[in-house]
Amino acid sequence: MEAILVKFTPIIIVGVSLGSLFGLVGLAYTVIINASQLVNFGQGDFAMFGVAVCWFAMSVLGLPLWLAFPIGVVGGALIGLLTEKTIVTPLLRREAHPFYPILGTMAVGTIAAGVVGIYTGFYWMRVDLFLGVEPWRIGKVPVNTQGALIMGATVVLVVAYWFLLNKTLLGAALRATGFNREVSTLLGIQTSQMVRLSFVISGVIAAIAGVLCAPLSAFNAFDGLPLAVNGFIALIVGGWGNPYAAVLGGITLGLIRALLTGYFSSAHAELATFVVLVLVLTIKPEGLYPGFMVPKTLRE
Amino acid sequence: MVSNRKRDLMIGVGAVVVLMLLPLRLGEYYLYLIRLVGVYVILALGLNVFMGYAGQINLGSAAFFCIGAYVSTILQIKLGWHYLAGFPIAIALSFLAAWGMSYPLLRLRGHAMAIGTLAFGIAVFLVAERFRGLTGGEDGVVVPGMALFGQVMSGTFYYYFILVFVVAAYLFCYFLSDSRIGRALRAIRDNEDAAAAMGVDVYYYKRLGWLVSGVFGGLAGTLYAQQAGFLSPSTFTLWTNIIVLVMLLVGGLGLNLGCIVGGTIMTLLPHLIAGMENYVLLLNGLILFTVLRFLPDGIVGTIANILTRRAG
């Protein structure tokens, strides 16, 4: 029994922390979807850029982590703002086909990855584990400190975003902009400001997710895209446009991956992610938890 | 663009004659580059039918490319088949894969279709990369050369072989775009509901466009594998999907000529700046950005617009 516990619990912990990470990226997508119904394909590169800024602050400027982390987050916010300013709003104004702005976000993300890649030579941007390599022990069960941090950050960010979205006037304005832009403009909401704000918030969340996950793998300039894909899958599996559902979807995926990795192999685990996605899209296209925490009056 | 069959025919024949004479003057490296361009042009033409004509999103076009390449190669290595026997099987299997995936994927719209097709593309890539026993895994496999009449075929032979299929694919798309099917696909792109109201069977035509892109992808894949002589999963990553998409946008979405222009530019770009591989990613991003922001009709579309404005 104890042997099972010692082997099984870490797998669950890895699964939940990996899932929280995907969920955080999914949350970052959701922020933009809430305010503009756009998918930001540069999301992973927002995270990557955050990591790059943080790494730059630490290794080149020699700043400590507690200072470099917020600087990286500001970097994420800046690239969010840049994406919105340079391509999303101009393309929205031109009323191009809806997938043009989506590709536009991908273009900015690719440019960011290219610039960071040239600077680092596509080499590992090293960020050490925040709390050291020694895991915490609860009884005999080891707990990865970085995983615990990711889970904690996810809870904090989801609660904070929930509060912003549902309990403040600003959140109401954000939701209204995504729901119907013309009517929101007529009601006196500055819709372009709301879209801009959503990109900044999304960049912040993505950068936090990126910096938190950077110590877990040899993070380089190419690693934004896989993060973006997994985050987007979390979002679709959980539920389109619902921040809490995206996190739940991420955790579901993370658990599936961790269990398959633990008992079969990582090749099967990665493949399973995509099989789960296609199954969800086929059987329940609205996601597994579409109405989770959404007030009844807002459901369609 | 004003369609002018006679003018198009003359330009087309001229281009083909020039392409047929090129091997007399060019070395193997340049022939290799042109073969590569040909392969990607076929891939782009197929995707263009689905994305440019029908206005759908496919971010997993490399999947069929990958299936086509590996099927004919595996048949040659594991079963000892001749390439010309594996060739139709590769295309048939890409067709079957496209047909099978059309049921879950084509029911989706917009963002869901984008992620669904992307997932399909990544899943096929993962199979190629992780299942060593079947595909040789990350290290790749050497594709055996093809012998015909007791002689191993050279690069020049593959050059003409690919040229035939590029011309055939282009002619197919050229006539498709003016046909009933092409008009139906464009009606779906402009307004799906209106097209359905006019009596266009939306799902039937979407599936047709998807199957064309699948078969063209498989064809491009098997040609690619055979002419390169070496196959590794790194050809079929997520980036390949994006690059093919950029090809369409650079040339002009929905324009057959755009596929040739975009395919040529995006295929040759990494070779033009050889030795500075780190800059390829940045350049791709800048090109995509510039095209989206300043040239929404692509290079061919913009030139055509200028010409029509001047003409009338």
At residue B212, the pLDDT reads 93
B49: left (phi over 0), alpha (psi -120 to 50) or beta: alpha
The dihedral through the CA atoms of A253, A255, A260, A262 has a sign that is: positive
Contact B116 A267 (CB under 8 A): no
Q: What is the mean pLDDT of the segment spanning A216-230? A: 85
Question: β-pairing, B230-231 with B151-152?
Answer: unpaired
Say if residue B233's pLDDT is above 90.
no
Q: What are phi and psi of B142, to 5 degrees?
A: -90, 125
Interface test with A, best of B292, B294, B295, B297 (most A CBs within 10 A): B292
Say if residue B264's pLDDT is above 80.
yes
Q: What is the per-residue burial (b if ≥16 Cβ within 10 Å, else e) of B244-267?
A: bbbbbbbbbbbbbbbbbbbbbbbb
pLDDT, tens digit, 9 for 90 and up, residues A151-196: 999 999 999 998 998 889 998 898 888 888 888 889 888 888 999 9
Q: What is the mean pLDDT of the segment spanning B209-223? A: 93
Q: What is the mean pLDDT of the segment spanning B30-34? A: 89
Contact B114 A275 (CB under 8 A): no
- Quote the CA–CA distance of A15 and A258 in Å, as a whole number: 5
Q: What is the mean pLDDT of the segment spanning A90-105? A: 82
Say if residue A297's pLDDT is above 70.
no
A294 band by pLDDT with thresholds 50, 70 and 90: low
Q: Name, of A64-68, A90-94, B45-49, the range with top average pLDDT.
A: B45-49
pLDDT, tens digit, 9 for 90 and up, residues B121-143: 888 888 888 887 777 777 888 88
To which residue do tokens 């990286």 refer? A72
Asked if this assembly's ipTM is beyond 0.90, the reply is: no
Out of A98, A100, A281, closest to residue B108 by CB: A281
Amino acid at A38: L
Contact A110 B122 (CB under 8 A): no
Burial of B302 (0-12, 13-18, 19+ CB in 10 A): middle
pLDDT, tens digit, 9 for 90 and up, residues B170-184: 999 988 988 999 999
A249-258, A288-297, B265-274: least confidently modelled range: A288-297
Residues of B with Cβ-Cβ distance to A104 under 8 angstroms: 289, 292-293
- Quote the CA–CA distance of B33 and A106 in Å, as a whole number: 28
pLDDT, tens digit, 9 for 90 and up, residues A130-156: 777 777 777 777 778 888 889 999 999
Residues of A with Cβ-Cβ distance to B118 under 8 angstroms: 229
Contact A282 B104 (CB under 8 A): yes
A300 band by pLDDT with thresholds 50, 70 and 90: very low
H helix and E strand count, chain A: 12, 2
Mean pLDDT across chain B = 87
A81 band by pLDDT with thresholds 50, 70 and 90: very high
Residue by residue, DSSP assigns A46-86 as HHHHHHHHHHHHHHTS---HHHHHHHHHHHHHHHHHHHIII
Percent of chain B with pLDDT over 70: 98
pTM to 2 decimal places? 0.87
**Cross-strand partners of B141:** B231
Tokens found for residue A16: 């939940």
Burial of A291 (0-12, 13-18, 19+ CB in 10 A): middle
Out of A39, A103, A118, closest to residue B278 by CB: A118
At residue A202, the pLDDT reads 94
To which residue do tokens 């615990």 refer? A148
Out of A104, A118, A240, closest to residue B279 by CB: A118
Q: What is the mean pLDDT of the segment spanning B215-229? A: 91
Contact B281 A274 (CB under 8 A): no
Mean pLDDT across chain A = 86
At residue A72, the pLDDT reads 92
To which residue do tokens 């050229």 refer? B174
Q: Do residues A277 and B60 make contact, with C-beta atoms less than 8 angstroms apart?
A: no
Contact B282 A236 (CB under 8 A): no
Q: Which domains does chain B have, with CATH numbers?
A: 5-311 (1.10.3470)
The stretches of chain B forming alpha helices (DSSP H) are: 5-21, 28-48, 62-79, 83-105, 110-130, 132-135, 155-177, 180-190, 192-197, 202-228, 238-251, 256-272, 278-294, 298-311
pLDDT, tens digit, 9 for 90 and up, residues B181-201: 999 998 988 888 898 888 888
Closest-CA residue of A relative to B130 is A267
User: Tell me: domain A2-298, CATH 2.60.40, correct?
Assistant: no
Give SS3 for B141. Answer: strand
Residues of B with Cβ-Cβ distance to A96 under 8 angstroms: 296
Contact A113 B286 (CB under 8 A): no
Contact B296 A94 (CB under 8 A): yes
Tokens found for residue B305: 């617009």
| Residue B129: partners with Cβ closer than 8 Å, 6 or more residues away | B135, B137, B138, B233
Percent of chain A with pLDDT over 90: 32
Q: What is the mean pLDDT of the segment spanning A266-291? A: 82
Residues of B with Cβ-Cβ distance to A110 under 8 angstroms: 242, 281-282, 284-285, 288
The dihedral through the CA atoms of A210, A216, A219, A222 has a sign that is: negative
Percent of chain B with pLDDT over 90: 29
